[in-house]
């Protein structure tokens, strides 16, 4: 047809030869005008079939090129209603490409499609027309078309007069409609006739019916339970007897795709209760597992292994024959030593599935432990990932020390993107299978030293809880953290644990050789200037606890507290002021305030809860029994944080610059035992949002000033002044709002509430209920987690004295970036993985008074939390940087290349990111930070 339609060939050649977008647009517009004129004049001079097909195919090509088509539908209906195959083909092609399933034009073709369906079986030409109609129904879909034509398609599928060619198309058409509209098929109507189709002599019909049946079973397994017997019989026929026509053999394997579908469908059901059927199924599975292959042809091997691995999944799911489990374990042991990377990968993945689902098989898997450990050093990262998962699944109390040691050794060389997961898995294994509490604590300290920034707060929270609840290990823990502090490279997380443990239990080692109260204080304070504000706040509390036990430290501690009474950080300032006042209190009060931390309630930790989630995931599947994809670790920790409750301490107390807050009575180093008060109900809204009108933001001008700042004024008027402070790490943010009452009377009741947002999870440790009059300020903390990509702002409603303010928080996508270290090949791989059409490119000049230089670009990108990649770009004047945009559901690499033309005073920024909503804002932030975009 393409050879005959010379006008179409010429038009396509013209489009391909266009030198620019403008030239192409001009050529397309001219062609559209010409075709539209031809169609409008068709009443005067009727177009022949050749011309209609040519013009409609041109419209199809234009549509594929990305241009909108708003005419030609009537002509397409006329063609698909014709009697010639070539006319119907073009008519259906245009209908599929240009008709909106939800639009009114779909009604124009329903009758024509129904007519073609009803003529199926009359002749071979009618069958071809019916197949075209079925393909159109499947591709267009739409509820109206499904309701009108699904009964006709269903009748074609089950009719004994329908040819196999049409039956196959009908089954796949119903599958497409069912996926869009599950309610259109009822098990009571289709279960029995659909099961009978598995007996079809034509395996193509059986394959199409099985695809439909699998989808139906995934929605309603009980309604189609009768298919199990037929599936076992058909599997026996193919796998054991090899009964299939030569056309259905693939490299000497009888219909491997059909065998895989049958094995997968059977995983939706338990083992058959009928003993004869169960014995036959065991026999079939045993034959598949015992098949010895000597044929080295790659396609043959792939077909055999596809069936074999699916059979293993079914064996693991049914668990009805121990000898089959042993066979699986032995086969997988061979696969993990294979020289073929894909085979090793599948072997490790299936072995992890077996270990998670069947604990009795772990002993069999353990025979290959050394091979699995060696896979951690494989050249392929996917192999290393699967080996890590398998070691995690097969670990128990008998081999925990060996596996944890191996994983800790691997941590030093593991890829950046898997370190978070690896660190958490090590922590889970260390806690779950610790032979002794001291070994667990040693492992956590080693993990902190090796994992550093990848160690989440939940891990050291749990270590603190274990130490607190085990009196026998408290002296040992104090000595270990003391030794850890002596290292000049001690990480901040280690300093946090040391501050807590020495503050609570430092007295156990006060008289130990090489230790003294003064040395403990000096070691802790030597790290003070190198840690963040949260850790500094914790250390101030530790100092105050130490001075309560060792009065000789009082002068040094008071000097530190005095120095920080005017600190910029509100939490540090409040602690310093309150602890200075407490230092002059009477001894009985001090003993109550600074008493040793009481034991935590016995609750499961976040890491153990996560371990159980992984075990449960191993017993589920893509239907009911396959191993589910692992949940994002940050998401799981966020979910289990609430469940862990008092079992894990808060990172820092919800302190704010409030003048009247009393000191904590529990004496907890981290205010761990204080119960948060229930938030007061918000006053009745009377402002702009309460009337049902569109929400009006009160602080757009203030938010713009906080684009690149994390501290500043969020809102101010005659009644109230709202300060803002934001702290960000990965997908988490801690937002503190400071409210200053400028009126002459107290604001009570008072409430600051984050409005519901689909992409943010927000919690408030302690809600404000009033703001006193005067110059004092009260603070409220919002703990924010990004759950997904967002474009709308998070808004806080502030209600007081019958007034309402709606304040937008300056939480932009560019705030949730983490440096992404990549080498040259890694950066290039990430760059090429993002579609070229997602690339943004802008030309800029430096900010006024600044020169174009790589150093200025690097400084700007570092301020936005990008990691500068050295040696990636061959030009030393260009700057390449990468960051990871973080949320619970989505993580996207953000890649930047800046070409510096110092002699011309210009930058060219090239930017790639796979998430469009993230890309727009982050690219804009990068551009504004670096310079001024050229018009």
Instruction: Estimate the crossing angle of helix 203-219 against helix 187-196, to 10 degrees.
Output: 150
Give the HSE-up count for residue 396: Cα atoms under 13 Å, Cβ half-sphere. 12
Q: Is residue 416 part of a domain?
A: no
Q: What is the pLDDT of residues 123-134, one digit of tens each?
A: 888 888 889 999
Provide the CATH number for the domain around residue 713. Answer: 2.60.40.1230
Q: Are residues 928 and 797 in the same domain?
A: no
Give the closest residue to 242 by CA, choosing from 313, 234, 204.
234
The model's confidence at residue 900, banded by pLDDT at 50, 70 and 90, is confident
Q: Are residues 716 and 783 in the same domain?
A: yes
Asked if residue 932 has pLDDT above 90, the reply is no
What's the confidence (pLDDT) of residue 621? 39
Q: Are residues 778 and 854 in the same domain?
A: no
Q: What is the DSSP secondary structure assignment for residue 84, as one 8-state letter?
A: S
Q: Is residue 924 part of a domain?
A: yes
Task: Check residues 934 and 215 and name the one with the higher pLDDT.
Answer: 215
In 195-260, DSSP assigns E strands to: 249-250, 253-254
The domain of 527 spans 453-594
Asked if residue 798 has pLDDT above 70, the reply is yes
Q: Which residues are annotated as a binding site?
A: 6-7, 38, 50, 54-58
Q: Is residue 567 part of a domain?
A: yes
Q: Is residue 665 part of a domain?
A: no
**Angle, CA of 852, 857 and 860, to the nearest 5°:** 130
Question: What mean pLDDT is predicted for residues 190-205?
Answer: 88
Q: Is residue 28 part of a domain?
A: no
Cβ atoms of residues 187 and 220 within 8 Å = yes
What's the confidence (pLDDT) of residue 608? 61
The model's confidence at residue 795, banded by pLDDT at 50, 70 and 90, is very high
Q: Are residues 865 and 804 in the same domain?
A: no
Cβ atoms of residues 670 and 500 within 8 Å = yes
Q: Are residues 556 and 530 in the same domain?
A: yes
Q: Which of 8-17, 724-733, 825-834 has the lowest mean pLDDT?
A: 825-834
Question: What mean pLDDT is predicted for residues 190-211?
Answer: 88
Q: How far is the C-alpha of 758 from the C-alpha of 611, rounded, in Å? A: 28
What's the confidence (pLDDT) of residue 880? 92
The model's confidence at residue 694, banded by pLDDT at 50, 70 and 90, is low
The model's confidence at residue 603, banded by pLDDT at 50, 70 and 90, is low
Last residue of a domain, one of 528, 562, 594: 594
Q: Is residue 751 part of a domain?
A: yes
Q: Are residues 462 and 542 in the same domain?
A: yes
> Which one of 98-112, 607-621, 725-739 scores highest in mean pLDDT?
725-739
Cβ atoms of residues 654 and 573 within 8 Å = no
Provide the CATH number for the domain around residue 856. Answer: 3.30.310.10
Q: What is the pLDDT of residues 375-407, one digit of tens each?
A: 888 888 889 888 998 998 888 888 889 999 999
Q: What is the pLDDT of residues 738-773, one digit of tens each?
A: 888 888 788 888 899 999 888 899 999 888 888 887
Return mean pLDDT, the chain: 82
Q: Are residues 501 and 567 in the same domain?
A: yes
What's the confidence (pLDDT) of residue 59? 92
Q: Are residues 830 and 748 in the same domain?
A: no
What would the two tokens of residue 798 be?
A: 């502030």
Q: What is the pLDDT of residues 413-460, one digit of tens each?
A: 888 778 888 888 899 899 888 889 899 999 999 999 888 888 888 888
Q: What are the Cα distances from residue 131, in Å, to 86, 118, 135, 160, 162? A: 14, 11, 6, 17, 11
Instruction: Give CA 300 to chain center in angstroms.
Output: 36
Last residue of a domain, one of 563, 594, 625: 594
User: Which residues, other chains included, contact 469 with Cβ-Cβ below 8 Å and sequence gap of 6+?
Assistant: 599, 600, 602
Q: What is the pLDDT of residues 66-118, one digit of tens each?
A: 888 888 888 888 888 888 888 889 988 988 888 888 777 788 888 888 888 88
Q: Are residues 530 and 469 in the same domain?
A: yes
What's the confidence (pLDDT) of residue 1? 41
What's the confidence (pLDDT) of residue 292? 66
Last residue of a domain, one of 567, 594, 621: 594
Q: Is residue 852 part of a domain?
A: yes
Question: What mean pLDDT is predicted for residues 262-272?
Answer: 91
The model's confidence at residue 613, banded by pLDDT at 50, 70 and 90, is low
Q: Which of 211-220, 542-551, 686-695, 828-837 has the lowest mean pLDDT?
A: 686-695
What's the confidence (pLDDT) of residue 801? 81
Question: What mean pLDDT is predicted for residues 819-828?
Answer: 85
Q: Are residues 786 and 828 in the same domain?
A: no
Cβ atoms of residues 546 and 520 within 8 Å = yes
What's the confidence (pLDDT) of residue 770? 87
Q: Are residues 855 and 926 in the same domain?
A: yes
Asked if residue 650 has pLDDT above 60, the reply is no
Percent of the chain with pLDDT over 90: 17
What's the confidence (pLDDT) of residue 781? 93
Q: Are residues 774 and 822 in the same domain?
A: no
What's the confidence (pLDDT) of residue 934? 65
Length of the chain: 935
Give the closest residue to 741 by CA, choosing from 726, 723, 755.
723
Task: Check residues 646 and 343 and name the one with the higher pLDDT.
Answer: 343
The string of DSSP codes covering 446-483 is HHHHHHGGG--HHHHHHHHHHHHH-GGGHHHHHHHHHH
Question: End-to-end alpha-carbon separation of the chain, Å?
Answer: 49
Number of domains into which the chain is organized:
3
Q: Is residue 776 part of a domain?
A: yes
Cβ atoms of residues 164 and 204 within 8 Å = yes
């Amino acid at each position: 047809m393409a050879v005959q339609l010379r006008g179409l060939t010429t038009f396509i050649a013209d489009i391909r030869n266009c030198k620019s977008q403008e030239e192409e647009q001009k050529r397309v517009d001219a062609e559209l005008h010409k075709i539209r004129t031809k169609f409008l004049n068709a009443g005067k001079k009727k177009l022949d079939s050749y011309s209609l097909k040519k013009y409609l195919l041109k419209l199809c090509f234009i549509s594929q090129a990305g241009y909108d088509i708003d005419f030609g539908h009537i002509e397409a209906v006329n063609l698909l209603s014709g009697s010639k195959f070539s006319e119907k083909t073009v008519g259906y092609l245009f209908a599929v490409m240009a008709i909106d399933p939800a639009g009114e034009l779909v009604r124009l073709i329903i009758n024509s499609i129904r007519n073609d369906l009803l003529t199926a079986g009359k002749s071979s030409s009618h069958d071809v027309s019916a197949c075209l109609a079925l393909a159109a129904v499947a591709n267009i879909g739409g509820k109206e078309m499904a309701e009108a034509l699904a009964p006709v398609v269903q009748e074609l599928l089950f009719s004994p007069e329908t040819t196999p060619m049409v039956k196959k198309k009908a089954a796949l058409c119903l599958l497409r409609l069912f996926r869009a509209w599950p309610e259109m098929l009822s098990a009571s109507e289709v279960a029995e006739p659909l099961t009978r189709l598995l007996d079809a002599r034509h395996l193509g019909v059986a394959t199409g019916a099985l695809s439909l049946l699998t989808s139906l079973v995934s929605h309603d397994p009980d309604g189609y339970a009768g298919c199990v017997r037929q599936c076992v019989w058909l599997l026996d026929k193919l796998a054991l007897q090899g009964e299939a026509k030569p056309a259905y053999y693939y490299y000497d394997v009888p219909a491997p795709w059909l065998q895989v579908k049958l094995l997968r469908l059977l995983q939706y059901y338990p083992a058959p209760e009928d003993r004869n059927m169960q014995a036959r199924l065991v026999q079939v599975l045993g034959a598949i597992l015992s098949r010895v292959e000597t044929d080295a042809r790659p396609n043959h091997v792939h077909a055999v292994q596809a069936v074999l691995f699916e059979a293993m999944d079914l064996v693991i799911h049914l668990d009805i024959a121990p000898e089959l489990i042993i066979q699986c374990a032995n086969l997988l042991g061979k696969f993990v030593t294979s020289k073929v990377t894909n085979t090793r990968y599948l072997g490790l993945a299936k072995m992890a599935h077996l270990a998670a689902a069947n604990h009795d098989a772990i002993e069999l898997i353990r025979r290959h432990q050394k091979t699995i450990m060696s896979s951690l050093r494989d050249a392929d990262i996917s192999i290393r990932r699967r080996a890590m998962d398998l070691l995690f699944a097969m670990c128990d109390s008998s081999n925990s020390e060996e596996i944890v040691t191996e994983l800790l050794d691997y941590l030093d060389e593991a890829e950046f993107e898997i370190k978070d997961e690896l660190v958490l898995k090590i922590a889970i294994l260390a806690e779950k299978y610790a032979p002794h509490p001291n070994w667990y604590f040693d492992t956590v300290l080693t993990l902190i030293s090796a994992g550093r920034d990848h160690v989440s707060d939940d891990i050291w929270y749990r270590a603190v809880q274990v130490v607190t609840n085990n009196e026998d290990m408290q002296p040992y823990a104090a000595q270990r953290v003391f030794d850890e502090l002596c290292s000049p490279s001690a990480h901040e997380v280690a300093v946090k644990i040391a501050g807590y443990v020495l503050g609570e239990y430092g007295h156990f080692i006060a008289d130990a050789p090489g230790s003294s109260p003064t040395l403990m204080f000096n070691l802790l304070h030597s790290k003070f200037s190198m840690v963040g504000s949260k850790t500094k706040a914790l250390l101030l509390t530790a100092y105050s606890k130490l001075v309560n036990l060792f009065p000789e430290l009082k002068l040094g501690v008071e000097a530190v507290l005095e120095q920080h009474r005017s600190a910029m950080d509100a939490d540090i300032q409040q602690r310093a002021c309150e602890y200075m006042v407490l230092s002059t209190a009477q001894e009985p009060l001090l003993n109550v305030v600074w008493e040793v931390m009481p034991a935590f309630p016995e609750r499961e930790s976040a890491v153990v809860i996560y371990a159980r989630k992984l075990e449960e995931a191993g017993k589920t599947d893509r239907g009911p029994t396959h191993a589910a994809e692992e949940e994002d670790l940050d998401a799981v920790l966020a979910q289990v944080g609430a469940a862990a409750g008092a079992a894990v301490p808060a990172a820092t107390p919800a302190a704010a610059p409030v003048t009247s807050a009393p000191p904590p009575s529990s004496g907890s180093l981290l205010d761990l035992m204080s119960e948060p008060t229930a938030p007061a109900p918000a006053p009745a809204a009377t402002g702009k949002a309460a009337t049902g009108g569109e929400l009006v933001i009160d602080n757009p001008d203030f938010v713009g000033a906080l684009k690149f700042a994390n501290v500043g004024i969020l809102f101010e008027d005659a009644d109230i002044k709202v300060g803002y402070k934001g702290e960000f790490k990965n997908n988490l943010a801690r937002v503190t709002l400071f409210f200053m009452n400028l009126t002459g009377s107290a604001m009570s009741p008072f409430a600051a509430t984050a409005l519901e947002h689909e992409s943010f999870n927000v919690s408030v440790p302690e809600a404000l209920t009033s703001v006193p009059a005067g110059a004092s300020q009260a603070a409220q903390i919002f703990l924010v987690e990004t759950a997904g990509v967002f474009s709308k702002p998070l808004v806080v409603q502030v209600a007081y004295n019958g007034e309402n303010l709606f304040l937008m928080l300056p939480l932009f996508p560019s705030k949730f970036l983490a440096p992404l270290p990549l080498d040259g090949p890694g950066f290039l791989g990430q760059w090429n993985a993002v579609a070229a059409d997602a690339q943004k490119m802008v030309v800029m000049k430096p900010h006024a008074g600044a020169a174009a230089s790589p150093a200025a670009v690097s400084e700007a990108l570092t301020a936005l939390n990008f990691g500068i990649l050295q040696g990636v770009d061959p030009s030393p004047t260009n700057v390449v940087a990468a960051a990871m945009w973080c949320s619970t559901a989505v993580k996207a690499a953000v890649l930047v290349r800046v070409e510096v033309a110092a002699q011309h005073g210009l930058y060219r920024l090239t930017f790639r990111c796979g998430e469009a909503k993230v890309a727009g804002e982050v690219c804009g932030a990068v551009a504004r930070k670096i310079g001024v975009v050229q018009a």
